[in-house]
Structure 1
Amino acid sequence: MSAVTNGYSENISKAIEALQNGRMILLFDLEGREAETDFTIPAKSVTPADVKWMRKDAGGLICVALDPQASEKLGLPFMADVLRDASQSTDSLNNIVEKGGDLKYDSRSSFSIWVNHRDTRTGIPDNDRALTINKLGEIVDRALDGEIPDFGKEFRTPGHVATLRAARTLVHERMGQTELSIALAKIAGITPAMVVCEMLDDNTGRALSKEDAIKYGKNQDLVFVEGGEVVKAYDLWLSRA
């Protein structure tokens, strides 16, 4: 039986410690869902070197998952809703806007808007993306502290960092890396703004297999966490909240 710390499994405890220290972990969702492993790290901790690491060794889309309450306070919409509204005056969008049943892995996506911080230039270099990511973490902190920040004063869209709006009840509503990463942030007591980036296989072009992701994690000394573990830990955390 695994050792436990404060009621959490040893593995979850290691993940919590890593995130509290601003370090990267690997997060797998579920077999039968996306079945993908994401690099995962707190937004406020990201450096340009981390952005380089994710784009080179992970290779997927670098996104920032955001707390649902903070997203609401900041006025961040779901992108599908934005496009659905736009489709009312733009006929060409009618047939391509996400609808129920379109996704093979979930009922809907969590994409919100793509942004650059206003202090960036083009927004795409590692240092620009790191700045935008850091500032997203900071504005989430301020929103949850009771402030109502002017999001548009600090960010512009379109940009090069995708934001993801977590479901209101997190893993009890949706089991994506968006919700799993925010649940982990809640458990760890850190700002619920988390960077996620899918790991891809250089040989096949598909998602990296779970087995290969685990091997990579061992070689890089990164904690590997599965969605089921996160749900159990989150339920325990909620029972104590």
Structure 2
Amino acid sequence: MIEKAIEAMKNGEIILIYDFDSREGETDFAIRSDALTREDICRMRKDAGGLICTAIHPKAAEKIGLPFASDALRETGFAERDGDIPYDPKNHSSFSIWVNHKDTFTGITDNDRTLTANRLSDHVKSAMNGGKLNFSSEFRTPGHMALLRANEKLLDQRRGQTELSIAIAEFAGVTPCVTICEMLDDNTGKALSKKDAMEYGKKHNLVFVSGDEVLEYWNNNH
């Protein structure tokens, strides 16, 4: 399914990415941010229900100057430390800052979050190609779009949804800026099971790919 997932990412379609049984055991909606529409945001909040975030390639995050939230908040005494996360004890989370584009109103509406994600992709594209847009002139924080900064070694170091989605974007040759959202279960209060996520994918004709497939492709082709 990895080839189909790469093609779907290239075509700007939503794909379903399951990480690992031994990790979060969660499936995320994922779509390249430059193809994201307000209908996609609506679908994420209705059919997925988790936190809508935008994952960014480490090279672009570095050039833009996006910090890890754990580093930015260190002086508060509340910041997480390596080993604090039960599903990933060797790394800290990929959370960076939360932003709104300055042309949004509240930042939370489907239209507003779509604009923010679309423009984030423009900045990532520029950064990856050696350019540099003025990030602070377009975005303000705090906001309603959580930014995720992928690990600098991607899947060689960390194997979260952030790195999996950015790896697939790399394979597809598209701007490595991907908007993702976890699928939750209304009945159990937990993450949607892998089985149910796969059934959702079949019902709605969405490609489902596992972290194991992505990692194998990464090791063989990177």
TM range (shorter): over 0.9
Q: Once the 2 structures are TM-superposed, how far is the Cα of residue 234 of structure 1 from its aligned partner?
A: 1.8
Query: What is the SS of the residue equivalent to 2:34?
Result: helix
Aligned to 1:101: 83
2:137 aligned residue (127, 145, 153): 153
Give the Cα–Cα distance (whole angstroms) in 2 for the partners of residues 32 and 153 of structure 1: 41
Query: What is the SS of the residue equivalent to 2:87?
Result: coil
Aligned to 2:47: 57
Query: What is the SS of the residue equivalent to 1:229?
Result: helix
Q: Once the 2 structures are TM-superposed, how far is the Cα of residue 145 of structure 1 from its aligned partner?
A: 1.1
Is 1:82 aligned to 2:62, yes or no? no
Gaps of at least 5 residues in structure 1 are 1-10, 88-93
Structure 2 residue identity aligned to 1:64: T
Q: Once the 2 structures are TM-superposed, how far is the Cα of residue 150 of structure 1 from its aligned partner?
A: 1.4
Q: What count of residue pairs does the alignment treat as equivalent? A: 220
1:38 aligned residue (28, 33, 36): 28
Give the Cα–Cα distance (whole angstroms) in 2 for the partners of residues 101 and 70 of structure 1: 26
Q: Once the 2 structures are TM-superposed, how far is the Cα of residue 237 of structure 1 from its aligned partner?
A: 2.8
Q: Once the 2 structures are TM-superposed, how far is the Cα of residue 236 of structure 1 from its aligned partner?
A: 2.8
Is 1:199 aligned to 2:183, yes or no? yes
Aligned to 2:198: 214
Structure 2 residue identity aligned to 1:223: V
Runs of 4+ in 1 over 3 A off after TM superposition: none
Q: Once the 2 structures are TM-superposed, how far is the Cα of residue 235 of structure 1 from its aligned partner?
A: 2.5
Give the Cα–Cα distance (whole angstroms) in 2 for the partners of residues 56 and 134 of structure 1: 20
Is 1:167 aligned to 2:151, yes or no? yes
Give the Cα–Cα distance (whole angstroms) in 1 for the partners of residues 23 and 6 of structure 2: 24
Query: What is the SS of the residue equivalent to 1:119?
Result: coil
Give the Cα–Cα distance (whole angstroms) in 2 for the partners of residues 173 and 111 of structure 1: 16
Structure 1 residue identity aligned to 2:86: K
Structure 2 residue identity aligned to 1:55: R
Q: Which whole-Å deviations, capped at 9, do the CAs of 1:18-60 have from their partners, x for residues lacking one?
A: 1111000000000121010000100101000000000000000
Aligned to 1:29: 19
Structure 1 residue identity aligned to 2:202: K
Q: Once the 2 structures are TM-superposed, how far is the Cα of residue 182 of structure 1 from its aligned partner?
A: 0.4
Q: Which whole-Å deviations, capped at 9, do the CAs of 1:72-99 have from their partners, x for residues lacking one?
A: 0000000010110x32xxxxxx2x3202
Q: Once the 2 structures are TM-superposed, how far is the Cα of residue 101 of structure 1 from its aligned partner?
A: 2.1
Structure 2 residue identity aligned to 1:103: I
Q: Once the 2 structures are TM-superposed, how far is the Cα of residue 135 of structure 1 from its aligned partner?
A: 0.5
Give the Cα–Cα distance (whole angstroms) in 2 for the partners of residues 197 and 236 of structure 1: 27
Gaps of at least 5 residues in structure 2 are none
Is 1:233 aligned to 2:217, yes or no? yes
Give the Cα–Cα distance (whole angstroms) in 1 for the partners of residues 173 and 221 of structure 2: 10
Query: What is the SS of the residue equivalent to 2:79?
Result: coil
Is 1:176 aligned to 2:160, yes or no? yes
Aligned to 1:138: 122
Identity %: 56
Q: Once the 2 structures are TM-superposed, how far is the Cα of residue 233 of structure 1 from its aligned partner?
A: 1.3
Give the Cα–Cα distance (whole angstroms) in 1 for the partners of residues 187 and 41 of structure 2: 22
Aligned to 2:207: 223
Give the Cα–Cα distance (whole angstroms) in 2 for the partners of residues 231 and 170 of structure 1: 10
Which of these two proteins has the greater Rg computed from alpha carbons?
A: 1
Query: What is the SS of the residue equivalent to 1:217?
Result: helix
Aligned to 1:91: none
Query: What is the SS of the residue equivalent to 2:169?
Result: helix
Is 1:15 aligned to 2:5, yes or no? yes
TM-score, normalised to structure 2, is 0.97
Q: Once the 2 structures are TM-superposed, how far is the Cα of residue 214 of structure 1 from its aligned partner?
A: 0.5
